[in-house]
Amino acid sequence: MKLNSIYITLACGIITFSACTKSNSTDSSNNNTNGNNTPGRSDLLEAGKWQVITNTVTTIYKGKDTTIDMYALTDECDKDDFIIFASNGTATVDENTNKCADDQQIENFTWALLNNDTKLALVDSNPDTVDIVELTATEMKLKMTKPNSSGVETTMAQTLKNIK
């Protein structure tokens, strides 16, 4: 899968629906264990392989809230892809066993937690930042609301499971 198409999946269609933005980094000293032996958000991200299981885009179309199930529109060869977040701020997307014909097996990008670990920055040729709605050892929910290229507010929501 091409790296830009990862962000269609990972950032819920952001390439299609909005322009790029940049965010300022915050101190990452509280990314790991928080002093009471519970894992911090970076620990949770780094502990496994993350695979998209839901992906929706909601926007106003012809005066009505309209939600599109982007996961249902995803090619089967992309549905088994997974992401590995490394502790050095790099990440890889692996095509897994059902590889799409024109895609590289492995794509690389960088990542960072921002704003007291409430946002996840994904950095490649099309950098963007998503809100971390929920992050546990088994599930991650991401969300981003931005205007699309026509100025209409669009909300992208995605759930990933940890397949370790």
Residue 129 sits in a domain of what CATH number? 2.40.128
Distance CA 153, CA 145 (A): 7
- pLDDT beyond 50 at 19: no
What's the confidence (pLDDT) of residue 34?
A: 52
Interval 113-147: pLDDT, tens: 999 999 999 998 888 899 999 999 999 999 999 99
How many domains, the chain? 1
Asked whether the predicted pLDDT for residue 12 surpasses 50, the reply is no
25 Cβ contact list (under 8 Å, min separation 6) = 112, 114, 121
pLDDT for 57-74, tens place per residue?
Answer: 999 988 999 999 999 999
Residue 78's domain comprises 3-162
What pLDDT shows up at residue 125? 80
Q: Which of 13-27, 28-42, 150-164 has the lowest mean pLDDT?
A: 13-27
